[in-house]
Chains A and B, each alone.
Chain A
Amino acid sequence: MSTATTIAKPVMPAKHYLNDNYGIRSWLLTKDHKRIAILYLVSITFFFFLGGLFAALIRLELLTPQGDLFQSDTYNKLFSMHGINMVFFFLVPSIPATIGNFVLPLMVGAKDLAFPKINLLSWYIYMVGAFFSLATMVSGGVDTGWTFYTPLSSGYLRTHVALMAVGIIMAGFSSIFTGLNFIVTVHRMRAPGLTWGRLPLFVWSNYATSLIMVLATPVLAITLTLLALERVFHIGVFDPKYGGDPVLFQHMFWFYSHPAVYIMILPGMGVISELITCFSRKRVFGYSFVAFSSIAIAVFGFLVWAHHMFVAGISQYSAMIFSLLSMAVAIPSAVKVFNWTATMYKGSITLMTPMLYALGFIGLFTIGGLTGIMLAALGLDVHVHDTYFVIAHFHYVMVGGMVTAYMGGLHFWWPKITGRMYPEAPAKLAALITFIGFNLTFFPQFILGYLGMPRRYHSYPEEFQVLNVLSSAGASVLAIGFILPLIYFLWSLRYGEIAGDNPWGATGLEWQTTSPPPTHNFHEVPVVTEEPYAYGEETVISGH
């Protein structure tokens, strides 16, 4: 442990990207990736809490075995809007559009993304999609489930499917533009000396995510377009009444939606790589393996989609192939988990809030991932398909994994984004509350599913009530765990301790500039000469 010199108290830089320009126009017409990241942050936080509100209503209904709080159709709308808002308007953009937008150009030593105007356009397209989504909700919402299976959605239901489809297509285009920007930036705008093998793993993960965004999302766009056309013009595409094939819809829908779940988790894994290495003060074990595993997940993720369709009527032969491939896709994820663990071994671990979230991620994502392998097994899937087992699985990976990583990343880069530290004690408390609330909410659901409780039902047999009550109780705890950060993050904007350039003593180009960074990111163009994560025995994290 070096130091010796008295460290002067950090001060806010005089000029930075937040105070460089004032006024609403300077925000709404900005080309600065950092400001665009903040625009996204506000938007997706809104949708996170909106989706959370729907979840709260769902859990409220499920306190009692009878479907007594809402009518069946209304309940269908609740879980549909919960899923749609969470998946398309929160999870898909979450880390890439907020943390990624902010930090990725800094990490590669660039002044901005490759196409700043397209970056801003992507936010506006997202907002148009958000408008359509809200309009749909206001006019009654959709009740098809977020999966829009036909013929329910193509002709049978009377709700505003086409309107919602447009909103989702817009959100999809927004993510395509973000992905396009990231890909070109990583290829063409790295600082001198920054070879691919020196890139932070967060960049590798977001690059892999961007590949998926760019390749998969257009198929969703065309599928939903055909669905909307079928609804409006009654042409035969997916509806058997007109000669269409409903399984074709599922094939095309899941061709996007399965890789989409990797869009959602890969950036989280990138965050975890950064957190583990910083708070263990150790290079990531097996850097190349972790880097290539991101690409492997991106590629393999495209080969497994029909595991959502095992009982839909696909051929047995096809089902077996997809089942095998689905087992294979777990391997790169396992590689990451092993490497993170190995990184921590004999590391110098500091349990700051971001690290708490990272540790939570490793445990919860592992459980989620393992149950995913269980679902990949044909025989077991036939038993638990469309039960709460599936719901528990994907909430473990999405909430226990992705949202946890998102919270960890927000805490980690908050000082870089705002120049201020969040308060550590409330943050640790919130992390703990979230962890407890999450497990209490979703673990009982594994048991419920295995015992046979179907998903998307608002009434259930009496014997399932105890587990459902536990789950709903957990949900209220979880809600507190998410509301607390909202409060103290906002508090920290005014009263948080000034952070200084590098409060964590982390490696990475983003920590070599001021907090908050200047509009053009770096006062001098950085040149990279060393491997990533070169943690020696030097810096100590400024104690909090």
Chain B
Amino acid sequence: MSDHSQSHPTPKLYVVIFLSLVVGTCLTWGIAFANLGIFNPVVALAIACIKATLVILYFMHVRYSDRLTMVTVGAGFFWLLILITLSLSDYLSRSLITVH
């Protein structure tokens, strides 16, 4: 069972990740004021996902953990996706078919 017996993050790596997160936050803030139309929320969420991934992989050590941990994290996001997608599939398809 591997966790910290193999390589684990050094303080330098933590600093790099921290700075990346700060940059990501500033980017999110800045881009929000530019008019990208439909892509504003897309970009904002994409940056958020990258930030979350960095936190998960490095701060939460998932990069150095065993497969079970990675599967657990994946399962969480996958199930969340099921909830969101299937619920929205109802709302977004209401205008598609009209019943006579």
Contact = CB atoms under 8 A, between A and B. Distances in A.
A318 B83 contact: no
Contacts of A247: 90
B71 to A, nearest CB: 11
Interface string A243-266: 000011001100100000000000
A306 B93 contact: no
Contacts of B97: 315-317
A251 B87 contact: yes
A187 interface: yes
A302 B82 contact: yes
B79 to A, nearest CB: 5
B66 to A, nearest CB: 10
B68 interface: yes
Contact of B96 (A219, A305, A315): A315
A318 B82 contact: no
A252 B83 CA distance: 9
Interface in B58-100: 68, 75, 79, 82-83, 86-87, 89-91, 93-94, 96-97, 99
Contacts of A248: 87
A36 to B, nearest CB: 25
A215 interface: yes
Given A187-B68, A302-B79, A303-B82, A315 B87 contact: no
Contacts of B93: 315, 317-318
B25 to A, nearest CB: 27
Interface residues of chain A: helix, strand, loop or mixed (majority) = helix
Interface residues of B, number: 15
Contact of B87 (A215, A255, A317, A321): A255
A219 B99 CA distance: 31
Contacts of A255: 83, 87
A317 B68 CA distance: 37
Contacts of B82: 302-303
A232 interface: no
Interface in A219-256: 219, 247-248, 251-252, 255
B90 A318 contact: yes
A318 B90 CA distance: 5
Nearest to A313: B94
A181 B75 CA distance: 18
Q: Which of the listed residues A187, A316, A318, A321 has the most CB atoms from chain B within 10 Å of its own CB?
A: A318
Contacts of B94: 314-315
A126 B87 CA distance: 30
Contacts of B83: 219, 255
Nearest to B98: A316
A321 B89 contact: yes
Nearest to B87: A251
A314 B89 CA distance: 10
A514 B79 CA distance: 42
A212 to B, nearest CB: 10
A248 to B, nearest CB: 8
B18 to A, nearest CB: 30
Contacts of B79: 215, 302
A140 B94 CA distance: 40
A71 B94 CA distance: 40
Contact of A314 (B68, B90, B96): B90
Contacts of A321: 89
B4 to A, nearest CB: 17
Contacts of B68: 187
A317 B90 CA distance: 8
A248 B83 CA distance: 12
Contacts of B90: 247, 251, 306, 314-315, 318
Contacts of B91: 315
Contact of B99 (A215, A251, A252, A316): A316
Nearest to B92: A315
Contact of B86 (A187, A215, A303, A316): A303
A506 B90 CA distance: 49
A187 B66 CA distance: 13
A248 B75 CA distance: 24
Contacts of A315: 90-91, 93-94, 96-97
Given A251-B87, A318-B93, 15 more contacts: A215-B75, A248-B87, A251-B90, A255-B87, A302-B79, A303-B86, A305-B86, A306-B90, A314-B90, A315-B93, A315-B96, A316-B99, A317-B89, A317-B96, A318-B89
10 contacts: A215-B75, A303-B86, A306-B86, A306-B90, A314-B90, A315-B90, A315-B93, A317-B93, A317-B97, A318-B89
Interface of B: 68, 75, 79, 82-83, 86-87, 89-91, 93-94, 96-97, 99
